[in-house]
Amino acid sequence: MTAQGTAIAVTIAGSDSGGGAGIQADLKTFSALGVYGASVITALTAQNTKGVTGIHDVPPEFVAAQIDAVFSDLKVGAVKIGMLSRAETIEAVANGLDRHKQTNIVLDPVMVATSGDRLINPDAVGALRKFLIPRALVITPNLPEAAALLGCAPARNESEMREQAERLLANGARAVLIKGGHAKDADAVDLLVERGRTTRLAAPRFETRNTHGTGCTLSSAIAARVANGLALENAVRAAKDYITVAIGAADRLSIGTGHGPVHHFHRWW
């Protein structure tokens, strides 16, 4: 609970029919962290643990209608943004956030699924940079996503991670959490880079193939903690702790034959 009542977070993202990522992962994360979750669905995917077999985009005007319905009624504490595959949808989301004066925005620039399937049109990357990165409280790219946003090769070490995050700050981001999960080090190291300050967050790396929805879950955990009133650095630290345990517990689940999900409800079952 916040001082104003029930903490509410909204996810603006695509649906994962397999339940491990996207809207489904976000709502599970909100619930696990004691936050009421609402949603704006931007796309439907035909998807399971083995990959994405189809994407059906929601028309931008209906994305806008969902935004207006949710934000006109609910007192929203934070917004998580995930899969936005088209430039027109990105612009509709940006305009909707402005209409409803939302500033606690966690932007996860989802581009490729865990399976390797591409989830964004190439022309939408520029729209993401122009319309949403400057509006976000924090953006949470992994190494390939940061490279795609900057048009360069993925970072190979922490020094290059920091340099790329600083370039994203120069492009208008307010803060960047650049995630090192794709690196090969013993620890999974993320860097929270703000103007004039870098916070290093390290956690053990688990040997598991059940990592589907990791990025969605981390970004929605940050949004949940912000909705509960935490400052950004504390929200990121708490979210990192949550996703680390969720990955560590993933092998307690047996879901599908590909990349299974992390265990959102590891505290309960």
Per-residue pLDDT in tens (0 to 9) along the chain, 269 residues: 655 689 999 999 999 999 999 999 999 999 999 999 999 999 999 999 999 999 999 999 999 999 999 999 999 999 999 999 899 999 999 999 999 999 999 999 987 666 656 667 778 889 999 999 999 999 999 999 999 899 899 999 999 999 999 999 998 989 999 999 755 667 889 999 999 999 999 998 888 999 999 999 999 999 999 999 999 999 999 999 999 999 999 999 999 999 999 999 999 99
Q: Which residues sit opposite 187 in a β-bridge?
A: 204
Residue 12 burial (10 A CB sphere; 0-12, 13-18, 19+):
buried
Specify the pTM. 0.95
- For residue 124, the model assigns a pLDDT of 87
Amino acid at 83: M
H/E stretch holding 96? helix 87-99
* Tokens of residue 170, six digits: 């120069």
Q: Output the pLDDT for position 171.
A: 86
Kindly list the catalytic residues: 179, 211, 213-216
Domain range 8-252, CATH class: alpha beta
